[in-house]
């Protein structure tokens, strides 16, 4: 039984109210089951809506709706809350989305898209504006044939490309491309790393669960261990896409999926790989994003120019929306990386430095491992 199903069963057994159980189920789906939207900021001259999401043939469809803002050359986004949102299927059915976190709208946990079906996002904002995406066809994604790894002593360089920051385990895959259809691929990953530090008090120390400033000229930053086993979730920050026109019907071999740093010299880690089968329109959108991220570094560096996707205001053609809503057949594979195979790697810690523990209290204070998009106290399935 999958982990999230076991959790739901336990919640039922604990006799938690149905509405509470449903909310927890949806929240866990956001963190563990969804096809992750990219966290992108845009260089804009006005405040516009930014929408990202996919319908997948896997459970856990979510859509993020944000307001991208530009204030004094500072770029940020705020969640667009209290929208009424639904997904319209080509067979005439509708799937209602529920806001499970600010600006995050999720389909029911048991919803899965169907290969060969079209899907369209529609939503209304609190101020009465109505938006809809184009219709997207969900195509099947071929099986991932093989995953393998290779050690690179000098794998990760600094921003200048001169100094080695960390050795890496480079992960590759092979897949047989179907001959009958034109295919467009997007690969991305999520990494589970065991995390021992759950809070850093900048210029302060932990007192009764809160960081309290130290009254001194140069106060230290103190790190505090997690109160239980905890995992950090790390996502890829580059776009990895492929149009199969050059390999149509042949095997795609040695496709580099990720260069995974050595956050520990010997502790293994769990990599979850997603392979998405995109529409041509979705591929072109991500290709534009990829071209801009090559110029600026990664998706989280200097904001790229706004890229208008496939979502429009139904009544106002001048109201531009950035982002994309798509449908994609998805393959998910978990792959365990054994770092102990490689001697003398150059290590980059999760903190980016040596931890500085406060030792004035005994026993040392600890901090909870709080469930979020980037951290979890729930042991991942496949962890060794």
Q: Identify whether 149 is part of a domain.
A: yes
Is 382 inside any structural domain?
no
230 and 130 in one domain?
Answer: no
The pLDDT, as a whole number, for residue 24 is 43
More confident residue, 136 or 318: 136
- What gap in Å lies between CA 16 and CA 216, rounded to an integer? 48
Report the Cα 329 to chain-centroid distance in Å: 17
List the structure tokens of 316: 């106002």
CA 110 vs CA 11, 189, 215, 296, 335: distances in Å:
17, 23, 53, 39, 25
Kindly give, in sequence order, each residue whose CB lies less than 8 Å from that of residue 184, ignoring residues fewer than 6 positions away. Answer: 241, 242, 243, 244, 277, 278, 279, 280, 282, 283
Q: What is the mean pLDDT of residues 123-142?
A: 97
Q: Which two tokens stand for residue 325?
A: 């809503």
In a domain, 232, yes or no: yes
If asked whether residues 173 and 285 sit together in one domain, one would say no
Q: Do 216 and 341 lie in a common domain?
A: yes
- Indicate whether 266 and 310 sit together in one domain: no
pLDDT of residue 308: 86
Q: Is the peptide bond before 363 cis (omega within 30 degrees of 0)?
A: yes
- Tell me: do 358 and 237 sit in the same domain: yes
Alpha-carbon separation of residue 255 from 149, 183, 320 (angstroms): 11, 15, 36
Provide, rounded to the nearest whole percent, the portion of the chain with pLDDT above 90.
71
Which residues span the domain enclosing 155?
144-273+335-376
Q: How many CA atoms lie within 13 A of 217 on its CB side?
A: 0
CB atoms within 10 A of CB 64: 23
In a domain, 178, yes or no: yes
Final residue of a domain: which of 292, 309, 329?
Answer: 329
Of these ranges, 61-70, 73-82, 265-274, the one predicted with the greatest mean pLDDT is 265-274
Same domain, 153 and 267: yes
Instruction: Grade residue 314 by pLDDT with cuts at 50, 70 and 90.
Output: very high
Query: What average pLDDT does range 234-255 have in this prediction?
Result: 93
234 and 368 in one domain? yes
Q: What is the pLDDT of residues 139-195, one digit of tens each?
A: 999 999 999 999 999 999 998 888 999 999 999 999 999 998 899 999 999 999 999
**Assigned domain for 381 exists:** no
Among residues 238, 194, 225, which one has the least CA distance to residue 336? 194
At residue 333's C-alpha, the angle toward residues 330 and 338, to 5°, is 155
Say how many domains are in the chain: 2
Q: How far is CA 366 from CA 85, 199, 227, 363, 373, in A?
A: 41, 9, 5, 9, 21
The answer to whether residue 384 sits within a structural domain is: no
Is residue 49 domain-shared with residue 175, that is, in the same domain?
Answer: no
Tens-place pLDDT, residues 177-192: 999 889 999 999 999 9
C-beta of residue 381 within 8 angstroms of C-beta of residue 2: yes
Domain assignment present for residue 383? The answer is: no
Residues 239 and 283 in one domain: no
Task: Please give the sequence-ordered ranges of beta strands (E in DSSP) within 48-183, or none if there are none.
Answer: 48-56, 62-71, 74-79, 84-89, 94-101, 104-106, 118-124, 130-133, 136-137, 144-157, 164-176
Same domain for 223 and 371: yes
Check pLDDT > 50 for residue 10.
no
Q: What is the pLDDT of residues 188-226, one digit of tens each?
A: 999 999 999 999 999 999 999 999 999 888 999 999 999
- Closest by CA to 88, choosing from 31, 131, 46, 50, is 131
Least confident of 21-30, 227-236, 335-344: 21-30
264 with 2: CB under 8 angstroms?
no
User: Burial code of 88-101, b = ≥16 C-beta within 10 A, e = fewer?
Assistant: bbbeeeebebebbb
Residues 206 and 251 in one domain: yes
- The reply to whether 250 falls in a domain is yes
Q: What is the pLDDT of residue 69?
A: 76
Same domain, 134 and 155: no
């Amino acid at each position: 039984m999958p982990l999230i199903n076991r959790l739901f069963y336990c919640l039922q057994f604990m006799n938690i109210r149905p509405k509470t159980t449903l909310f927890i189920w949806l929240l866990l789906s956001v963190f563990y089951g969804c096809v992750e939207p990219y966290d992108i900021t845009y260089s804009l001259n006005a405040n516009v809506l930014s929408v990202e999401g996919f319908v997948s043939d896997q459970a856990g469809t979510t859509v993020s709706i944000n307001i991208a803002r530009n204030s004094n050359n500072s770029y940020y986004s705020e969640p667009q809350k209290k929208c009424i949102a639904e997904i319209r299927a080509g067979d005439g059915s509708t799937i209602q989305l529920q806001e499970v976190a600010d600006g995050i709208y999720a389909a029911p946990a048991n919803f899965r898209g169907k290969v060969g079906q079209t899907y369209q996002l529609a939503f209304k904002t609190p101020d009465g504006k109505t938006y809809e995406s184009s219709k997207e066809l969900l195509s099947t994604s071929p099986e991932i044939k093989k995953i393998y790894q290779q050690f690179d002593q000098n794998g990760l360089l600094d921003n200048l490309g001169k100094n080695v920051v960390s050795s890496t385990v480079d992960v590759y895959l092979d897949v047989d491309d179907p001959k009958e259809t034109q295919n467009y691929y997007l690969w991305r990953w999520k990494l589970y790393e065991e995390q021992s530090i759950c809070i850093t008090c900048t210029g302060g120390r932990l007192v009764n669960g809160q960081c309290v400033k130290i009254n001194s000229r140069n106060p230290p930053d103190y790190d505090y261990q997690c109160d239980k086993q905890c995992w950090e979730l790390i996502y890829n920050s580059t776009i990895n896409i492929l149009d199969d026109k050059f390999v149509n019907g042949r095997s795609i071999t040695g496709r580099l999926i990720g260069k995974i740093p050595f956050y520990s010299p010997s502790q293994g880690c769990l990599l979850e790989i997603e392979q998405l089968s995109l529409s041509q329109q979705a591929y072109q959108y991500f290709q534009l994003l990829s071209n801009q991220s090559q110029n600026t570094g990664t998706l989280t560096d200097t904001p790229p120019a706004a890229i208008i996707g496939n979502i429009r205001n139904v009544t106002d053609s001048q109201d531009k929306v950035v982002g994309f809503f798509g449908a994609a057949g998805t393959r998910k594979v978990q792959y365990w990386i054994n770092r102990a195979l490689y001697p003398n790697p150059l290590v980059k810690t999760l903190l980016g430095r040596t931890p500085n523990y406060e030792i004035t209290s005994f026993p040392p204070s600890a901090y909870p491992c709080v469930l979020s998009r980037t951290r979890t106290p729930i042991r991942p399935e496949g962890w060794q």
